A and B are shown apart, each in its own frame.
Chain A
Amino acid sequence: MAITRRRFLEYSGGLALAFAAGRVLAVDPRNGKPKRTTSGFDPNVFVHVATDGLVTLVCARSEMGQGVRSTIPALLADELGADMARVTIVQGDADKRYGDQKTDGSTSIRNGYEPLRKAGATARTMLVAAAARRWKVSPASCVARDHAVFHGKRSLGFGELAAEAAKLPVPPPEEVKLRPRSEMRHVFKDLPLIDGPAIVAGKATFGADVRLPGMLVAVIARPPVVGGRVSRYDAKRALAIPGVKRVVEIPTPKPPYAFQPWGGVAVLADNTWAALRGRAALEIEWDEGPNAEYDSDRYRITLSESVHAPGSLARNTGDVDAALSKAARVIEAEYHVPHLAHVTMEPPAAIARVEGGKCEVWAPTQYPQEARTQAATTTGLSENDVQVHVTFLGGAFGRKAKSDFVAEAAFLAREAGRPVRIQWAREDDVRHDYYNAVNTQLLTAGLDERGKVVAWRLRTAFPPISSTFKPTNQPSADDLQQGITDRPLAVPNVRAETCRADAHVRIGWLRSVYNIFHAFSVNSFIDEIAHARGEDPRAVQLEILGPDRIVTLAELGVDKLSNYGDSLEKHPIDTGRWRRVIERATEMARWDKRRADGRVLGLAAHRSFLTYVAVVVSVVRNGAGRIAVDEAWLATDAGTVVNLERARAQMEGAVIFGMSHTFHGGATMKRGVTEQSSFADYRLVRIGEAPRRIHVDIATSDGPPGGIGEPGVPPVAPAIANAVFVLTGQRIRELPLTLRLVT
């Protein structure tokens, strides 16, 4: 490997390091006291150069499998000209000085790319200036590389320059020049997996792995229905169990639930086993509250009725009603995707200590600053008195951006007067999730005599995420930018409507969010149109996408598009890039030769998080007669990709992730209670179901970076459904497809 791992490893198993007061502080997790301080040069909060030459780089985004700790420091180091053998990585605590730390929306690189390069380049510029001043030469005649500044044959190490550089004024960003890409030595290629050795040795510290002296372990018996409350409880039997120390009632949250604890009764014990036994021994009567009537089967009918009536306009061009009434042929289909649960392998866990007017938290959080806010709110402390350390995240997918579990830990630590680890059991995780929205869509297309699509109407109903934060019962037009209002359609008459959908569980975001069901319906529907016309699904995909162009708001029939928080000038909707990923994926899969190859293929393509992805899958009936994906091809154009290796890994993982909700996934509720509670009934793809091969092609690009973590997921389910139609003649309009396919 090009990069030596030694230095990175020093801290990759530890976690509690913080940047503060202009010095690198290594904090001992057992007592919160600094272990070591180093003087040196820190032109910004991301880079520190010690006088002994050690360079410390901060990763302020959370590591949850996407490889951000292998990617961000390499980007900083390449701009700086640092030798990775003399770099140490610090995981940033919650701190607004890092800017946005919320690790979701596939934003770490797409938003961080330029500012992080600027941070590295600023440090380099100042080290070069210090060297040039020492040598009395022009900075332009000096070069920073290999941890030193060179002028001809002379050189000065970064450490030798740190003290002088620290005395120089920090140049304004516009005066700092980024390196040309050719000078970036490690990035834009495969980067080593920095934390791999710690992970395979069992030394990486995840949320529940932090241990503090005197710490109690808490598990909570939560109301079965969201919005329910404890009406009475008896802790006597629980307190009789050896090791159980306290039983504490958690306040009942008031809607909107946001990131408040769910409520219930906590059992605090010396160890997890005692806490779990104590919880089982609690005698509790619940008041189920207003959501106890929620039945997801009945709700499906409600959503279906909702999309069969006109909704609120989200997108409009031409006159859909007139075009539909004149159409030679009308095709209509209704699609349904259930609530999906995150089921991260590591269930939520967090550690808190409240002592002497301060609160310290260790948590596997995607959203450290929000975790800090929640801990402060819960304990009544000021945010300045709350410190949040970020551990490794054992899977996240959006779940760990919600800080309810951090608030639970902080509340209980304050009540107990001792450090507390809150531990969610698997059944807690499956039953009390922030579920991805359940969705029903009705798609109606009008075709002219030649089969060309002249009208396209889409109605969608799903309880939006915003319902978790304020009273609302309908998606906004903005919610539809994930695959509906931003979807290019070379169709003259298009209308999209949002329809009513009340929330009865906590709705949250799960890896790729609304794109999951919007990509499913749109790609399935295009496939249905192709088969209705007896034509090649790829040809119809490309026809409905239309000619290569930059899609305008006027064409989309919308006033504005949030475009994942980025401008349309920087990240336009480019049908050429979309077409090319379709062509690349189908070429890799030998789409045109599929019949000769004896293969059954399905295709889907989608743009999300500013990245284009096309997926082709091959499906077979396996030995057991079940439908299986035996091979998958994924082509993506994500603009500039900093770490090709982790981008490929994310895309491979996205195929498996998408397969889980296609074949197994879905949470259902009866009387307000989630029916699933374990991996036996909330099933995930296992190794024997994984395809034989997954091929990933990443377009070479120097365009602005798009997202990587999420965009691979949305096309997977429709590609499978489209292939299953070819294999079986059954059109899958509902996930998971196992419900409809008894083989």
Chain B
Amino acid sequence: MIKLKVNGAVRELDVDPEMPLLWALRDVLGLTGTKYGCGQAQCGACSVHLDGEVVRSCVTPMRRAAGREVTTIEGLSVDGNHPLQRAWCELAVPQCGFCQAGQIMTAAALLASNPKPSNTDIERSLAGNLCRCGTYLRIRAAVKKAAGIPEE
């Protein structure tokens, strides 16, 4: 049994301790907002928070999550009203939308530690999050909007 907190609720899971957190979230807990994109920490679609830090859940074994607190896109806010989620909608960032939960979770951790990030900070933070549709410019703009930084 592995005990952890997911989006504020204590969960006990009878899973292989080597099972990546991604598959426990998706297949066992039914939290499908976190996406599988590569399984090798190369695309960021599976990004979640582990004790507030961004991790790639596809390479984070369950044993590492034991006793810790996991936040997924479903738990980022009540009713999808985190400033980033609002900015994402106002600027119509998503195209297909598949990578966006990972983008938002990564950006949320950035803003939590760096409330007024520079362009370089944003790009460094999101360097591991791919978007094949090419929404990067709007992602950059939405992070700044959520942070209250005017567009140049």
Contact = CB atoms under 8 A, between A and B. Distances in A.
Contacts of A276: 39
A199 B100 CA distance: 7
B117 to A, nearest CB: 13
Contacts of B136: 656, 685-687, 690
Interface in B14-46: 16, 19-20, 23, 26-28, 30-40, 42-43, 45
B97 A394 contact: yes
B43 to A, nearest CB: 5
B118 interface: no
Nearest to B89: A196
A345 B73 contact: no
Given A687-B127, A687-B136, A346 B37 contact: yes
Contacts of A669: none
Contacts of B38: 426, 678-679
A392 B95 CA distance: 11
Nearest to A397: B132
B140 interface: yes
A650 B95 CA distance: 8
B59 interface: no
A736 interface: no
B74 interface: yes
A694 interface: yes
Interface residues of A, number: 67
Contacts of B89: 193, 196-197, 200
A217 B27 contact: yes
Contact of A679 (B20, B42, B73): B42
A426 B93 CA distance: 24
Contact of A687 (B23, B43, B74, B129): B129
Interface in A255-306: 270-274, 276
Interface string A66-100: 11000000000000000000000000000000000
Contacts of B33: 201-203
B123 to A, nearest CB: 4
Contacts, number: 191
B104 interface: yes
A655 interface: yes
B39 to A, nearest CB: 6
Contacts of A243: 16
Contacts of A688: 123-124, 127
Contact of A271 (B23, B43, B139, B140): B23
B133 interface: yes
B133 A211 contact: no
Interface in B67-97: 72-74, 79-80, 84-85, 88-89, 92-97
Contact of A653 (B28, B100, B134): B134
A395 B98 contact: yes
B134 A656 contact: yes
B137 interface: yes
Contacts of B85: 197, 200-201
Contact of B139 (A205, A646, A687): A687
Nearest to A659: B134
B101 A206 contact: no
Interface string A381-394: 00000000000111
A650 B138 CA distance: 12
Contacts of B30: 211
Nearest to A654: B134
B40 A680 contact: yes
Given A345-B130, A346-B96, A206 B137 contact: no
Contact of B92 (A203, A649, A679): A649
B4 interface: no
B126 interface: yes
B6 interface: no
Given A208-B32, A652-B138, A684-B130, A200 B100 contact: yes
Nearest to B77: A201
A694 B134 CA distance: 11
A66 B95 contact: yes
A209 B26 CA distance: 8
A684 B95 CA distance: 17
Contacts of B73: 200-202
Interface of A: 63-67, 192-193, 195-197, 199-206, 208-209, 211, 217, 242-243, 270-274, 276, 343-347, 392-397, 423, 425-426, 645-646, 649-650, 652-657, 660, 678-680, 684-688, 690-691, 693-694
7 contacts: A206-B97, A271-B28, A343-B132, A347-B36, A646-B92, A649-B135, A687-B122
Given A270-B27, A656-B131, A685-B136, 10 more contacts: A193-B94, A195-B97, A196-B94, A201-B33, A209-B32, A344-B96, A394-B99, A426-B39, A654-B134, A687-B136
Kindly list the 9 A-B residue pairs having the minimum CB-CB distance in the complex, ordered from nearest.
A202-B33, A656-B134, A394-B98, A65-B95, A65-B96, A202-B73, A201-B80, A199-B97, A653-B134
